Structure 1
C-alpha cells in the first residue's frame, strides 16, 4: 500500500468556521479508514489551499490531531496517519466504534468490569440525595416511553457512578457514556429485554449499603440482554446500531449518532 494520501481531501463545505471544522474533517478521514495508517498527509500548503485558511490554522489543527494520537510527524519526511493504539490514548471510544474496531461484546465486557465495581462503591458511599435521585429515576423509567426511556436509563447509570464519589471512575464511565446510551437504546428496542425490575433491585442494594449485592445486581443488569444478541455480539457495534435504527424509527437518532459513517 502506498504511504501517500490519494483520497480526495475534504473541503471547507457550508458553514465552515475554522480550526474545529478542519480537525473534524481530517479526523473523519482517519476514523473512517479512508486515510489508513501509514499514509502521508498533504502538506500544510495544500491543506491550507483546500480549506481556504491560513497555514497557521492548519498547523493548529494538526497539533490537535497529534495530541489525540491520530497522526505523527517524522522530521524531514512529513506527517503520517498513525495506527489506532487505544491503550496509548489514540482515539475516543466513539471514534473506535465508528471505525469498526469495537463490537457489542467489547462494550458489554468493559461495562461488566466497570459498572459492578461502581455499584459496590456507590453502596458504600451513597448519600441521602443520591438515593432520592436514584428512586426518582426508577420511577421515571417505569413510565417512560421510547426514546425517553433510553435517556432515563443512561441518567440512572450515570447517577450510580456519581454516587461513588470517585472522580476517576466518573471519567472512565464518561469515556463510554455515549456508547452505553446507544446500547441501552438498542436493548430497549428488543421486547424480550426487561430492565425495570433490575433497577429496583439495584436501588434496594445500594440503599441497604450491600456492596456485594449491588455488584451482583449490576452485573445481572448488564448481562440481561446478552443472551438475546446472538450473532450481533461479535459484529462491529456500528453495524449493530445501524441495523437496529432501521427497525426502530423512534430510536433512530440515538442509534445512528454512532453508527453513521462520516460523510
Structure 2
C-alpha cells in the first residue's frame, strides 16, 4: 500500500461528500496535511476513499470554495496557505530595528513551548517519540561534526516536533508561523548563541532534557526543561548584547583619546 494511501479511510455512507470534506478538514486541523501539501489526484482519492470520482470532485470544489485548497491546472491540488505570515514585512522590519521587541518574542515562545512540552509529555504517541528521538540524533550528529547549518535546521525541527506531539491544533498552526520566522533568522541567529555557549554542548544538553521529559511522560520535567532552555537563550543574548555595547563604548573611548593626543 502506498504511504499516502494509509492517510485516508474508505467511506461507506450516504453522505459521501460531507464525509470526504470532513476527513480532509480534520487532517488539515491536525497538521497532517500542511500548507502547500499536494493532494493525490482525483482518481487516486476516489480509490482511496472508495467513492466515485464525481463525489470527490464535488468535495474538492467545496474545499476550494472554503479556501482550504487551491487547484493549479496542470500541476495539481494543494492545501492553501492558511496561517500566512505571523507578521507583515513592515512589522518584521520594525522589530529588527528595535531590539527590545526580541525579548517579547522569546517570552511568547517560552510560554507556548512550555505549555506544548507539558502536553506532549502526556499526549505524545509512539510515532511522536520516534520523531523526537530522530531529530535529537540529528542534532547530536551535527554537533559532533561541527555542522552549524544542520544544527540550526534540526533545532527548529525538534521544537516543531515537540509542538506537534502536543496534539493541539491551534498550537501547531500558530507555532509553525513563528518557527518560519526563526528559520529565516528574523529574530536571531543560532550561531550567535554558540559563541555565548562556547561549544553548543549546553544547547544540545537542554534539548536532551526536553526530550527526556517528553519521552518519560513527565509533564513537569518537560515544561521546566523547555522554559529553562528559553531562559538560557534570553540570558545569553542579554549578555551578548551587553558585551557588544561595552565593546562599542571601549572603541569610542579609544577613538576619543586619540583625538585628544597632541
TM-score, length-scaled by structure 2: 0.50
| 2:92 corresponds to | 97
- Out of 114, 121, 135, the position equivalent to 2:112 is 114
Distance in 2 between residues matched to 1:160 and 1:233, nearest whole Å: 29
Whether 1:223 and 2:231 are equivalent positions in the alignment is: yes
Partner of 2:249: none
Larger radius of gyration: 2
Aligned match for 1:134, one of 132, 141, 147: 132
TM-aligned CA distance change 1:91 to 1:207, over 3 Å? closer
Identify which range, 156-165 or 219-228, moves more after superposition: 219-228
1:40-65 CA distance string (max 9 Å, x none): xxxxxxxxxxxxxxxxxxxxxxxxxx
Aligned partners of 2:84, 2:169: CA distance in 1, in Å?
22
CA gap of 1:189–1:208, structure 2 versus 1, over 3 A, is closer
Residue segments in structure 1 that go unaligned for 5+ positions in a row? 1-88, 235-263
| 1:195 and 2:203 aligned | yes
SS in 2 for 1:224: helix
Matched residue, 1:125: 123
Contact 2:117 2:219 in 1 (8 A): yes
Q: List alignment gaps of at least 5 residues for structure 2.
A: 1-82, 243-262
CA distance in 1, matches of 2:141, 2:179: 23
Q: 2:158 aligns with which of 156, 159, 175?
A: 156
8 Å contact from structure 2 (residues 115, 223) kept in 1: yes
Summarize deviations over 1:186-235 as a string: whole Å, max 9, x none: 4444252531111111111111111111100000111112222127779x
Does the residue aligned with 2:195 lie in a helix, a strand or coil?
coil
CA distance in 1, matches of 2:163, 2:84: 24
Greater percentage in helix: 2
Moved beyond 6 Å, runs of 4+: 231-234
TM-score (norm 1): 0.50
Distance 1:179 1:218, change over 3 A: same
Q: Kindly indicate whether the alpha-carbon contact (under 8 Å) linking 2:122 and 2:219 is maintained by their aligned counterparts in 1.
A: yes
Q: Which residue of 2 aligns with 1:168?
A: 170
